[in-house]
A and B are shown apart, each in its own frame.
Chain A
Amino acid sequence: MSDLHTTSSGESHGSVSSYIIGFVLAVILTVLAFAVVATHSLSPSGTVLAISALALVQVLVHLHYFLHMGGGSEQRWNNICFVFTVGFVAIFIIGTLFIMNNTALHMMSR
C-alpha cells in the first residue's frame, strides 16, 4: 500500500512529459476524426463508428493524462463516483433513444 502512495504522488501532479504525450495523442486523435469526415473515405455508418471510437479513446487519453485518473487507492472514491456517473448517463441516453424511437414507431403505425 505504501508503494502505491509514493508512486502515485508524481502521477497526481502530472509532469511536462506526460502533458505533452497526452497533448500529442489528443491532437492525433482529433485530426484523424476531422480527416475521416472531411475525406468521406468511409461509408456514413462506418464514419459514425470511426469518430465514436476516436472520441472514446480521446476521452480516455484526457482522463488519464490531464485529469490524472488512475487506480491509486486514494482515488478510489473519485473512481466510484465516476463509474456511477458514466453508468447513469449511459442508461439515460440509451434509454431515452430507445423510448423515443419506440414512441415514434408507434405514432407512425397509427
Chain B
Amino acid sequence: MAHDTTVPTSGHDEHHHESPVVFGFWVYLMTDCIIFGSLFAAFAVLRNQFNGGPSGHELFELSGLGLETALLLVSSITYGFGMIAAHKNEISKVIMWLGVTFLLGLGFVGLEVNEFAHMIHEGAGPDRSAFLSAFFTLVSTHGLHVTCGLIWIVTLIVQLMGTTEIPERMMNKLTCLSLFWHFLDIVWICVFTYVYLASMI
C-alpha cells in the first residue's frame, strides 16, 4: 500500500523483524484502547446531563484546543524523526528529537492542567454535573497517559546518554514508546472531535 512512499532508511535489517516485546506492547495498547472506549461510551451517555451547570459550549474555547492539538500533532512527527535517527544509530540526534518531543508534550500537559484549574476555579469541576464528571475522567485519563509518556521519554534520554550504539533491547524500548506516543495522538483525535468540537456546534 505504501511501498512507493518508503525508501529503506538504513541497512539495519536486524531490526525490522518485530520482536515479541513490541507485539506484547501492542496487545497492551489494545487493552488501553478498550479503557478509552468505555470512557468514551460513558461520556457519550452523560454528555447532555448538565444538571443546570455549564455546557461544553460555554466552557470550551477553540483557540486553546487548537494549540493543544497542534502541540501533540507536532510532537508525533518529532518523535518519528527521533525513530529515524535511532535506526541510523545517530544517538545525539535521537536525544535531541526526544527532548523536543518532551517539551511539546510538557506544553500540552501544562495547557491541559491550566485549563482544568481554570474550569475548577469557575465552579465547573468534576463534581458539578455528570457531564463534567465524564469530561474530567476521560480527558484527564488521556492527560495521565501523556504524563507517563513524558516520564518514559526522560528515562530513555537518560539511558541513551553516554552510549555509542543502540542495542536491540534499546531499540525495542524506543519502538514501544513510539507506538504509545502515536496511540495517544489517535486518542486525542477522538477527544477533540467528540468531546470538544461536538460540544461546540
Query: Which residue on A lies nearest to B33, using beta carbons?
Result: A85
Contacts of A100 in B (CB 8 A): 45
Give Cα A37–Cα B60 distance, bound, in whole angstroms: 12
Q: For the side of the interface on A, what is the size category?
A: 35 or more
**For the complex, would chain A's binding face be called helix, strand, loop or mixed by DSSP majority?**
helix
Query: Would A81 and B27 count as touching, CB distance under 8 A?
Result: yes
Contacts of B2-22 to chain A: CB distance below 8 A: 2-3, 5-10, 13, 15-18
Query: Which residue on A lies nearest to B22, using beta carbons?
Result: A78
Give Cα A58–Cα B187 distance, bound, in whole angstroms: 11
Contacts of A51-110 to chain B: CB distance below 8 A: 51-52, 54-55, 58-59, 62-67, 70-71, 74-75, 77-78, 81-82, 84-85, 88-89, 92-93, 96-97, 100
Interface residues of B (CB under 8 A from A): 1-3, 5-10, 13, 15-18, 23, 26-27, 30, 33-34, 37-38, 40-42, 44-45, 62, 65-66, 69, 73, 76-77, 80-81, 83-84, 87, 179, 182-183, 185-186, 189-190, 192-194, 197-198, 200-201
Interface residues of A (CB under 8 A from B): 7-23, 26-27, 30, 33-34, 37-38, 40, 44, 47-48, 51-52, 54-55, 58-59, 62-67, 70-71, 74-75, 77-78, 81-82, 84-85, 88-89, 92-93, 96-97, 100
